[in-house]
Structure 1
């Protein structure tokens, strides 16, 4: 081997060792056992990327070592044998990983033991209705990952909305407004202040927000529950972190249910493979990281367009409130700028009435601190009561509550 090749090989070898150290650091830096990777406590993305670069660097390193023999007749035969061995090794590796049910997920995964949380809910009635105990009110759902437990003993009524004291049977002359969304909606601030500010007679207000839901989950949940309430107005509270893929329900080695957000659109994932193949989950995690949530714009557009079709079929008015990242616009990360632009473009193209909160919030932050706008100082998305009231004033002023 020439001196130059030895130097290159040595440098590549050091790179591979550095990448391997990255893998080990990602696993052990938080003093958690290797088994904790199964539950994806927020850093499986780091492990997936580190493994990818480690393997890539290793392959390049080996190629430099054996380049002088690869391109002979015997070398090509050896190369074919190596590739065949690689395929067999991957199959064996996949089979060996099956018992561990590793979930490499580019975003987050929720880990629940639903039977345990249900028992905890029954044993602790004093917690009912508190959002600090929200995981106790969830049940597994194979289509949308999870949904609330419904009924008198839980925050959500059997009609799928938070308890409100209204008669679900809609009487003549009543206007019914339904608020749909994720945890921002579930807090109920917009519902509360719209009702207070508007002061309209013969109106009732239903809150159908569920913690952690994406647009796809909200749509399906509304189809199951919201349509039965026959709303006259549906206000979708869209948060910039709603750009999530449809969750996939998996089981880990401890029997826990893991709900993994894929963060890629339906065009870029095979859900059967994602459920059954560890290597495919690694691949999807890498794809989500490198392609910026591929095809999710198409998914969100399709879901909102379907909600719009439902509004026409069932005769309710559809309006959307687009919530911002709770920071001055000049300080927004690029991904939130892009996501805001994308959702506003989708709503403009579909011709859906919508209110973009960001400009109003930005004006307020010129004279208020950032904490004024936030429910908690470290919370980037849930608006404070003060900001929520201003949003409600604008919603009422625009006539969004009227059919």
Structure 2
């Protein structure tokens, strides 16, 4: 008796339909997960998602490899609950004329803290510093403070920006704003498929990172930061070299310079990183550059009152007010020839 055979074409057709059904199901699941990430997890205040949007919408790869990335000129958006606008030369700043028109020009080099992540433009350290200096000044002298901060910059990138672009704005004073993660290696942008477009990918990657730190033995934030400063770490070596280059350039060109160290805002009274502050101060001393540690300006306050959100320890307006007042006092003490009329400097809001 002959057995009935199924035509090969029919088998292939069924296999193809099964593959298509599986692909459709996976795509549908993916869309559902993406929809959940955009509607449930995205409340406009999630640090990882907002930083991802900022990088996607406001940054581009720089033509200068040493700079890494830069802001897109004239771009704008809404991140971490506040509007952000970039001017025609890629700065979160009002337009900067080529000549300061008689004002003393102060340039702030820095990362997301200097940029003012999570605060309005008028609440950034640069704008508050300008307000303090001009509010305390007497006579005709005025002060202009330029914010060149870019998120995810390190000291190497900040100095590279200054030596290739920033110097053309002819600042009288440069303030290098240093944060503990400025010893990280220079980040390079790599396109990672879904990571360029998918909020679900960002949420998942963030969750995996947190779980690995809690349960899988990955270094916590304190161990991570301390590890950046171990002997031979290339990021720290490069950061020191960058600070030395900046100091040498400023000496040779008659530009005043100050190094400012920003504290990590989780623990202030029993500060866990005094050795890092000391290392930056040592470089400043070796180069003859005035140094300011900002931690004393805020250590009397509860750390959480200084954060932009309960989950994001970037400085808020309260912190930036204290920082601006302290920087203004240091400028006045270090360079009285430029800041003689601001001897009675007071902190904004007090």
Q: Which band: TM-score by shorter chain?
A: 0.5 to 0.7
Stretches of structure 1 that go unaligned for 5 or more consecutive residues are: 1-31, 33-107, 118-132, 258-287
Equivalent residue for 2:88, pick from 158, 180, 185: 158
What SS does the aligned partner of 1:167 have?
coil
Q: 1:134 to 1:251 in 2, by over 3 A?
A: closer
**1:233-312 equivalence runs, <5 A:** 233-252=173-192, 294-312=233-251
Equivalent residue for 1:174, pick from 103, 113, 117: 103
- Per-residue deviation, 1:309: 1.4
In 1, the alpha carbon distance for the partners of 2:174 and 2:192 equals 38
Is the aligned partner of 1:342 residue 2:274?
no
- Per-residue deviation, 1:305: 0.6
User: Residues 174-200 of structure 1, C-alpha deviation per residue, up to 9 Å, x if partnerless?
Assistant: 311111100111116221222222224
Q: Which residue of 2 aligns with 1:137?
A: 58
Give the TM-score, by structure 1 length: 0.52
Say if 1:297 and 1:342, in contact at 8 Å, map to a contact too: no
Give the TM-score, by structure 2 length: 0.59
Say if 1:174 and 1:204, in contact at 8 Å, map to a contact too: yes
RCO comparison, higher one (Cα < 8 Å, 6+): 2
In 1, the alpha carbon distance for the partners of 2:196 and 2:321 equals 40
Equivalent residue for 1:183, pick from 103, 112, 118: 112
Q: Which residue of 2 aligns with 1:369?
A: 302
Q: Which residue of 2 aligns with 1:193?
A: 128
**1:106-117 equivalence runs, <5 A:** none
In 2, the alpha carbon distance for the partners of 1:331 and 1:293 equals 27
Say if 2:186 and 2:235, in contact at 8 Å, map to a contact too: no
In 1, the alpha carbon distance for the partners of 2:71 and 2:259 equals 23
Say if 1:180 and 1:237, in contact at 8 Å, map to a contact too: yes
Q: Which residue of 2 aligns with 1:279?
A: none
In 2, the alpha carbon distance for the partners of 1:291 and 1:372 equals 31
What root-mean-square deviation, in Å, do the aligned CA atoms of Structure 1 and Structure 2 show?
A: 3.4
In 2, the alpha carbon distance for the partners of 1:232 and 1:195 equals 14
Q: Which residue of 1 aligns with 2:152?
A: 212
User: Residues 131-175 of structure 1, C-alpha deviation per residue, up to 9 Å, x if partnerless?
Assistant: xx453011123443321112476833233432314423333x331
What SS does the aligned partner of 2:276 have?
helix
Q: 1:302 to 1:292 in 2, by over 3 A?
A: closer
User: Residues 96-148 of structure 1, C-alpha deviation per residue, up to 9 Å, x if partnerless?
Assistant: xxxxxxxxxxxx9xx98xxxx8xxxxxxxxxxxxxxx4530111234433211
Say if 2:114 and 2:149, in contact at 8 Å, map to a contact too: yes
> Which shifted more, 343-352 or 232-241?
343-352
In 1, the alpha carbon distance for the partners of 2:255 and 2:228 equals 38
**1:351-366 equivalence runs, <5 A:** 351-362=288-299, 365=300
Say if 2:184 and 2:236, in contact at 8 Å, map to a contact too: no
In 2, the alpha carbon distance for the partners of 1:305 and 1:202 equals 30
- Per-residue deviation, 1:243: 1.3
- Per-residue deviation, 1:385: 1.5
Stretches of structure 2 that go unaligned for 5 or more consecutive residues are: 1-29, 31-47, 77-83, 117-122, 198-226, 340-350
Q: Which residue of 2 aligns with 1:12?
A: none
Q: 1:330 to 1:137 in 2, by over 3 A?
A: same
Higher helix share: 1
Equivalent residue for 1:148, pick from 62, 71, 90: 71
In 2, the alpha carbon distance for the partners of 1:293 and 1:147 equals 28
Q: 1:328 to 1:138 in 2, by over 3 A?
A: closer
